[in-house]
Structure formats: C-alpha cells, structure tokens
Amino acid sequence: MQLTIHEQITLDGIAQANGGNDEDTDPGFTRGGWALPLGDAEGVAYILDAWRRPDAFLLGRRTYDLFASYWGSRTGDGGFGDAISDKPKYLVSNTVTEPRWAGTTVLSGDVASAIRELKARPGGELLVVGSVALARWLLEQDLEDRIDLVQFPVLVGEGRPFFPVPGQDHALELESHRVFDTGVVAHTYRVGGRPEYA
C-alpha cells in the first residue's frame, strides 16, 4: 500500500486546530478555526474525494478520538462519516487496547515495522489525515510515499510548525496542484529520497 499524508496547513506551516480551538488537544493555541472561513463547496469536495480514495486510514490517538466521537456516529451521511467509518482504521497508540470504533486495529510496540508490513501489501492506499504528531514521525522515519498539502492563504503566527526545523530532508516531485477560488491551493507530491544540494 502507498502511504499518503494528507494535511491542511496555513501558509506559515501550521496544521493544528484547523476546525476550531480546543484547549484539551491544543493547549495555549488561540487561533484555531483558520480553515473554516476559506472553505467552499469545491474545496470540501476535493478533501472528501481524498477521504473516499484510500483503502484504509492510519490515525494518531488524538485525531482518532476526535473522529470517532464525531464521524463514527455519522454513517449514512453521504460524506466524511461514510468515507471513513466503513473502511479499516489503524490506530497508533500504546495506551488504547480496546478501540471503540468498529473496524479499528491498534498498532503498538514496534509501530514502524507494523506500518512497513501494511505498506508491503499489494496495491491500495493508506491515508493519514490530521494526526500531526504521527505525520511528523512518519516523515522522520521515511515511511511516507506521498504528501498531499491543502494550503490555506492565512498566516496564524503561532503554533507548532508541521515541518520541524531541524528535520528530515526529502526531495519532492509535484504530481498535481489545484487552486480554488478562495485562494486555497492543493499540492500533491511524490517523495523521492534525498534532495540534491549545490
């Protein structure tokens, strides 16, 4: 399976709290909800298509808990609930032993090996949505195949950058891009090893 990281980020690289402030998950971050004013039907359709495409989802615990409480009860909605609820979900957690969302398998212990085993399966796509800490860890471990960034034209000026400095370097090849009327730009990159330096 191909592993794709799908993230919504600001122009200054922040991926947290796109839908609103939550003191429990993002303590001290006061500028959440930055994606909502820039959303339109075309952009939502693009993101929904990304959720419908994969064969399975890979999620970190905080995103899993949020999605399970919201999307897990929305099957039959014709949208995000259907896109994720009926597909296998792999939860990366060393604390959850009995997941509450049907179709969930917990990955713990040697997570990198477990993900490599999933990636070794023929065909298909394993999609990471949200799960910023997990996505950053995957980048550090060189486990990603594609990065799909939906970049919003806003500078929030605070928060944890999605791409840490220092961090792992990656050469990227642009596969596709799309510009929406609101100024949101979607970039899809294939990861191609290490960059060349002058």
Domain of 58, in residue numbers: 2-11+41-184
- Assigned domain for 128 exists: yes
- Model pTM? 0.94
- Assigned domain for 47 exists: yes
CA dihedral (164, 46, 195, 192) positive or negative: positive
104 alpha-carbon distance from chain centroid:
17
- Assigned domain for 149 exists: yes
- Assigned domain for 60 exists: yes
- Which CATH number belongs to the domain containing residue 136 in this structure? 3.40.430.10
- Assigned domain for 69 exists: yes
Overall domain count for the chain: 1
- Assigned domain for 196 exists: no
- Assigned domain for 198 exists: no
Confidence of residue 75 (pLDDT cuts 50, 70, 90): confident
Q: What confidence tens digit (pLDDT) does each residue in 125-168 have? A: 999 999 999 999 999 999 999 999 999 999 999 998 999 889 99
- Assigned domain for 147 exists: yes
